[in-house]
Structure 1
Amino acid sequence: MMIAYASRTCTRRNLDALRRAGWRLMVSARGALRTEGFRYALDNGAWTSFQRGEPFDEAAFERAIARLGADADWIVVPDIVMGGMASLKFSRTWLARLRNRRSLAKARFMVAVQNGIMPAHVRDLVGPRVGVFVGGDTEWKLATMAGWARFARARGAICHVGRVNSARRIRLCAAAGAHSFDGSGVSRFAEALPPLDLARRQADFEGWLSRDEIASLAPGSSMPKRCRE
């Protein structure tokens, strides 16, 4: 069963529902740096900056690392949303900096991959301590996540898929072989949790989606029409 992360919320009802379901939190460097007693992963805040049309907030990320980095399940290395190879170059610089910090000696990092990035571009980075965070736009993400999951497993790494907010997307992630996913819907609406949690607990029995089919998709492949949204 995949591990599920929900965006951090301060709503007690939603937190209680997430806790009962065994979900974890995705804490953003651009948000309140509280874990609410959950296991958590630490996001770098680039997505929030992108949505607001702002540059990456390095100061916010540094504060988040200092407060929560050591105990996070993993840390998303700073990236440039939809930045392609420029994003990877940016991430490489940050990863080198983070790996040299004594306080993060036992930390696990995640490199965000997005449109234009291929496994060959990150082969030297990915391994037991550096996993793959599948970002990019929706079409690219759905078409490539199975290939990224296979690549990560072959390297002894984990593969996480970002921004997953429907039962269908959760089933697609499971069929692809992803280790975990995150979404914001259950943080805002407690009633959204039961169907999404059920989806992550169920095996993929739907006849329209075969594991072999989705596993055949590699980064750069075309996505079957019936997998489009």
Structure 2
Amino acid sequence: MIGYASRTGTRRNLDALRHAGWRLMVSARGPLRTEGFRYALDNGARTAFQRGEPFDVPAFDKAVTLLGPGADWIVLPDIVTGGLASLRFSLDWLETLRNRPDLCGAHYLLAVQNGMEPQDIAPLVGSGIGVFVGGDTPWKLVTMATWARLAHERVALCYVGRVNTVRRIRLCAAAGADSFDGSGVSRFASALPPLDLARRQPDIEGWLARRRP
């Protein structure tokens, strides 16, 4: 799996992440700096949600203009735990972004939230649109295998947000997720080794399985 870390300006932590092959998740609500990493662009909706604020349209527009063309993918604006209202909000933004010539060829992730079902997004996934597993933690852990299966059936990516423990990384791997993000490794370089080992573990197990007679 590919690990994305929340952007940090701490050189020691950046050096550790770079050496381990992680990428950065840059938020529209934070400093718009990639630090020379490959990166993805988050829309900043969770920050607004946590602060009790509306979605920050100017911040997102600025982030997309500066960093959208070079991002691995862009998380479509969403409403945290907003169910089908979040889906409608995301689709409105998808139409807007697809009409921008500077984003020709961009890839997007559609955030799934509590109350959404696979059939709600199945016709949308593929052709440059993958799945971002959002929602609250219990819902995320219960449903992420379903979302990963849907994404892979349509040759799309499945990404899981807010994964900061070895246990959750292993659950993501078991569910079939392609990538995840976390903030712990950005704040504490000492947190990286066990989390990076867990990220790589599926590859090690697969290698051992192929070596057995």
Instruction: Normalising by structure 2, report the TM-score.
Output: 0.94
Distance 2:201 2:125 in 1: 29
Matched AA of 1:140? W
- 2:176 aligns with 177
Secondary structure of the residue aligned to 2:146 is helix
Distance 1:92 1:42 in 2: 17
- 1:76 aligns with 75
Distance 2:203 2:134 in 1: 23
Q: Deviations over 1:166-187 (max 9, x none)?
A: 0000000001000000000000
**Displacement, 1:205?**
9.6
Distance 1:107 1:92 in 2: 15
Distance 1:151 1:3 in 2: 19
Find out whether 1:47 has 2:46 as its counterpart: yes
Secondary structure of the residue aligned to 2:8 is coil
Q: Deviations over 1:72-118 (max 9, x none)?
A: 00000000111111111100100111111111111000000011111
- 2:20 aligns with 21
Secondary structure of the residue aligned to 1:202 is helix
**Displacement, 1:203?**
2.5
Distance 1:168 1:76 in 2: 25
Matched AA of 1:202? Q
- 2:151 aligns with 152
Find out whether 1:116 has 2:115 as its counterpart: yes
Distance 2:163 2:54 in 1: 24
Matched AA of 1:47? R
Runs of 4+ in 1 over 6 A off after TM superposition: none
Task: Report if the CA contact (8 A) 1:174-1:204 is conserved.
Answer: no
Q: Deviations over 1:8-57 (max 9, x none)?
A: 00000000000000000000000000000000000000011111111100
Secondary structure of the residue aligned to 1:203 is helix
**Displacement, 1:128?**
3.3
CA RMSD between the two structures: 1.3
> More helix by proportion, 1 or 2?
2
- 2:211 aligns with none
Matched AA of 2:196? D
Secondary structure of the residue aligned to 2:110 is strand
Count of equivalent residues? 205
Structure 2 residues without counterparts, runs of 5 or longer: 206-213
Identity %: 73
- 2:98 aligns with 99
Task: Report if the CA contact (8 A) 1:107-1:129 is conserved.
Answer: yes
Distance 2:173 2:203 in 1: 7
Distance 2:129 2:174 in 1: 22
With over 3 angstroms needed to count, the CA separation of the structure-2 counterparts of 1:11 and 1:93, relative to structure 1, is same
Matched AA of 2:129? V
- 2:64 aligns with 65
Distance 1:92 1:5 in 2: 25
Find out whether 1:203 has 2:202 as its counterpart: yes
Matched AA of 1:103? D
Secondary structure of the residue aligned to 2:115 is coil
Instruction: Normalising by structure 1, report the TM-score.
Output: 0.88
